[in-house]
Amino acid sequence: MPNKILVVDDEKLIVKGIKFSLVQDGMEVDDAYDGEEALSLIKNNDYDLIILDVMLPKMNGLEVCQQTREFSQVPIIMLTAKGEDMDKIMGLEFGADDYITKPFNILELKARIKAILRRSIKVNTVSDKVNSVLNIRNIKVETESRRVFIDNKEVNLTAKEFDILLLLMKNSGKVYSRDSLLKIIWGEDYPGDARTVDVHVRRLREKIEKKPSEPEFIFTKWGVGYYFN
């Protein structure tokens, strides 16, 4: 069954180019040109991945991303015409899985899409085979349903946040460098950088730690990486 992708951008030539390239690769592609249309499509369809521009009419991409995260963990790649790090980080803070800056090479975008889709397939395959519950102190992780509970209250994590937490919990005490987390969670051929890991870990701490600045679970080994205590 082909992967179903939603491409959202108010620049029709960009949408046309991305759509043509992905369809050539055998994917099914929907398109939207403003934030409200995009959110409506996301609510009424089951997408494997969303490519979402930051600057959109009616509702910007960050708002669409944030509202999508209230009901779905579908992978989201943000497109931004600005090169500043803050714009990229903002996309991740609102729940995006990745970002790419315009103008971009379509081959790089396709590489990122395929890396995320491969990771999603791998995770889903493992989850289908192993129906288990992982408990450490007041954290409970249901691996099949990919749900996380703190003190029996469900916490809404993105796909990447869940993958990071599960990996660290299963290997409690083992320190993972940012580069190794990037390769394991995002894939060997992921072209992004290790700062992406820092943003996701910080956001994960904000969701599971009582005091993110004084973590009880996910610790930093300065100069090395992260580990679960």
Q: What is the CATH topology of the domain spanning 130-228?
A: Arc Repressor Mutant, subunit A (1.10.10)
Q: What is the pLDDT of residue 102?
A: 85
Is-contact 141 133, C-beta < 8 A? yes
Return the biggest CA–CA distance within the chain.
Answer: 52
Dihedral-angle region of residue 223 (phi above 0 means left; psi in -120 to 50 means alpha; beta otherwise): left
The token pair that represents 131 in the structure block: 């129906």
Specify the pTM.
Answer: 0.62
CATH 3.90.700.10 corresponds to the domain 4-121: no
Instruction: Tell me the DSSP string of 11-64.
Output: -HHHHHHHHHHHHHTT-EEEEESSHHHHHHHHHHS--SEEEEESS-SSS-HHHH
Cα end-to-end distance, the chain, whole Å = 41
Please give the pLDDT value at position 82: 67
In the chain, which segments carry CATH 1.10.10.10? 130-228
* pLDDT value, residue 84: 58
List, by residue range, all CATH 3.40.50.2300 domains of the chain: 4-121
Q: Show pLDDT as tens, one digit a residue, over the chain (229 residues).
A: 788 999 999 999 999 999 999 999 899 999 999 999 999 999 999 899 999 999 899 999 989 998 888 888 888 998 887 665 656 666 677 778 888 888 888 998 898 888 888 766 444 444 444 457 878 888 888 877 788 898 888 888 888 888 889 888 888 888 888 888 888 887 776 766 778 888 889 889 999 888 888 888 989 888 888 998 8
Confidence at residue 124, expressed as pLDDT on a 0 to 100 scale: 47
Distances (CA, A) of 206 to 14, 20, 114, 120, 140: 35, 39, 29, 24, 17
